[in-house]
Structure 1
Amino acid sequence: MRRISPVLVPVFSAVFIVGCSGESEDKGGSPEGVRSSSSDSGASDREKVLEERAEKALALRAGDETGASFVEAGMERVGDGIHTRSVLSTGASYSLAVVCSGTGEVRLTVSVKRTEPQTVACDGVPVRQRLADVPTQVGIDVDGLAGASGIVGWRIDEVVE
């Protein structure tokens, strides 16, 4: 029969206790398997600030009005990108605004009649496009370029003429 060295018993005990105590700390609010650390907290605080900037730039907060008829909007991390298919009224005209708040650049591709990718800086300044005589479905894809990080948002408004 093999014997465990007396030196290893305290090490195994300490590992077991740390593992068990970590599990009880997670029940306080973090999703299962996700632990907050000071760097995670800093990252989420940074994302929150960047998201607020993007919302403000796109006038998504309550009381912000652009004068157009709001259709839909969304917000994602640059790393996740935006990949949406918007169902719109055929033949109508719309205004698309895309903003990236953070660092680097993203590539925006809008699938209407012609698809030409556009590079958008993550400087918090919205890029606007007029979408005239749209098909029933319009694809909006935004992907982060190398080194890009932050929050990217989009908003579609129907142009009322």
Structure 2
Amino acid sequence: MAILDDEFMRRQPRPLRRSIVLCCVSVFSIALAAGCTNEPGGPTGPSASESSPGQQGADPSEASARAEKKLGKQVEEVLDTAEVSDGDPTFVEAGLERVSDGFHTEPELIRGRSYKLAVACAGKGKISLSVVLNDRVRQTVQCDGVPLRLRITASAAKARIVTEGIPGVTGMVAWRLDKADR
């Protein structure tokens, strides 16, 4: 009896079955990729009319981000921190945070030197501001966009400046620390 080799003994997939399987896999892959998009007007994304600002059905996180950006610009303008330069000899530091996150900074100060601290909060509610040198000074700041200005004299090389949101607060908080004129 003769042994037939390779070609005749191996089971060969049917060309039609292979084509159908490849076609189904391709169609499924395309459908899956199209279904996972968040493009406006896509299967899971909002239509252009739903995603426009102020429209009903707009994404709450997008509206929140726009509001935070607007409030952030407001407090930066009040404190003139948007274009602050490290070349300014009186500038020490500045920053911007969500009130819910608060800010925590420990600037290195020159003992005996006076500094001007300005803190502005914009949004709704109040925050608590703590300035710790040797003693702790605690103040409540209304989130109305009006800056609180304090003059502090460094009695230690490091200061700790912290804000915490009082429950229910929303918005942005900015601060700026400058060396005071002698």
Tell me which interval the TM-score lies in, with the shorter structure as reference length: 0.7 to 0.9
What is the match of residue 42 of structure 1? 63
Does residue 69 (structure 1) correspond to residue 79 (structure 2)? The answer is no
Offset at 1:20?
Answer: 7.6
Query: 80, 83, 91: which one pairs with 2:101?
Result: 80
RMSD: 2.5
Q: Output the CA distance in 2 between the equivalents of 1:57 and 1:105.
A: 17
Equivalent pairs, count: 133
**CA spacing shift, 1:120–1:20, aligned 2, 3 Å:** same
Q: From the two aligned structures, give the one with the greater strand fraction.
A: 1
Offset at 1:91?
Answer: 1.8
Aligned 8 A contact 1:93 1:134 in 2:
no
Which runs of 4 or more aligned residues in structure 1 lie more than 2 Å from their structure 2 counterparts after TM superposition? 17-22, 61-64
Q: Output the CA distance in 2 between the equivalents of 1:60 and 1:96.
A: 12
Query: 59, 62, 66: which one pairs with 2:80?
Result: 59
Does residue 106 (structure 1) correspond to residue 120 (structure 2)? The answer is no
What is the match of residue 111 of structure 2? 90
Structure showing greater radius of gyration is 2
Query: 7, 10, 21: which one pairs with 2:35?
Result: 21
What SS class does the counterpart of residue 87 from structure 1 fall into? coil
1:3-25 residue CA offsets vs partner (Å, 9 max, x unmatched) = xxxxxxxxxxxxxx679833x44
Q: Per chain length, whose mean CA-contact separation is higher, i.e. which structure has more relative contact order (CA < 8 Å, sep 6+)?
A: 1
Unaligned runs of 5+ in 2: 1-30, 40-50, 52-57
Offset at 1:39?
Answer: 1.2
What SS class does the counterpart of residue 68 from structure 2 fall into? helix
What is the match of residue 10 of structure 1? none
Unaligned runs of 5+ in 1: 1-16, 27-35
Offset at 1:113?
Answer: 2.5
1:99-153 residue CA offsets vs partner (Å, 9 max, x unmatched) = 1110000000000122132110000000011111431101011000011010011
